[in-house]
Amino acid sequence: MTIKKSVTFIIFLFIVACNDSGNSCGKGEPTKFDITDVKIELLVSSGTNKAPYNEVKHSDLTISINSVTQIIASIKEKSKKSNFSFINSAYACSLAPPSTNEKIVDIKISSSSPFNDELAAADSLKSKFEVVYADSETQYFEYSNNTEVYFNLNRYLEQENVYAGNKIRIKLNESPKFVDNHIFFIELTLDTGEVFLLETPEINFLR
């Protein structure tokens, strides 16, 4: 078989693999996942990412809310039913990353300590946190003077559909007046009725 014929044959096999995968190179159902649990992670841009979190700048701290997921409609599993297995066609043909149909109903956040003179311990701090990253189709920022301006949690959650994803990252938009002994409590509610309760390690902010 000549080189030209070999290349043509390989291309033909690739096309067949895509068609047999159930995805048809862009057609069919994308991979879907279900959120089974939620974990919390603290990211500090300067210094250590491990407890104790002492003298942390509010602008350096990011709270990452990470989903634990389970695949519920996998293209990869569909492809196993095919009689053709030239390549891992499930991901060669898939154009969209795995996603979920689940939506976020609410994200509540409060602290074990007063934030300032107006916000006591256990009061809502949605206005004090902004969403700096969300890996879903829901918008979390807008452009102003060619700069990304992030939505605070209130504005983010006021949108019509707030789709869940693998992670959401939030940051304080100002430093607490009372900087010591903050444990942030987070309650995430999905439209499935699932409620996940989270809390951070103790954080002491830089005076």
Q: Give yes or no for a contact between 60 and 104, defined as CB atoms under 8 angstroms apart.
A: no
pTM of the complete model: 0.77
What pLDDT does residue 126 have? 98
What pLDDT does residue 206 have? 94
What pLDDT does residue 53 have? 93
| pLDDT, mean of each 10-residue run, the chain (207 residues) | 52 48 51 95 84 93 96 60 41 65 97 98 98 96 95 97 97 98 98 98 95
All structural domains of the chain: 34-71+97-205 (2.60.40)
What pLDDT does residue 6 have? 52
What pLDDT does residue 49 have? 73
* Cβ contacts of 190 within 8 Å, gap of 6 or more: 35, 102, 103, 104, 105, 164, 196
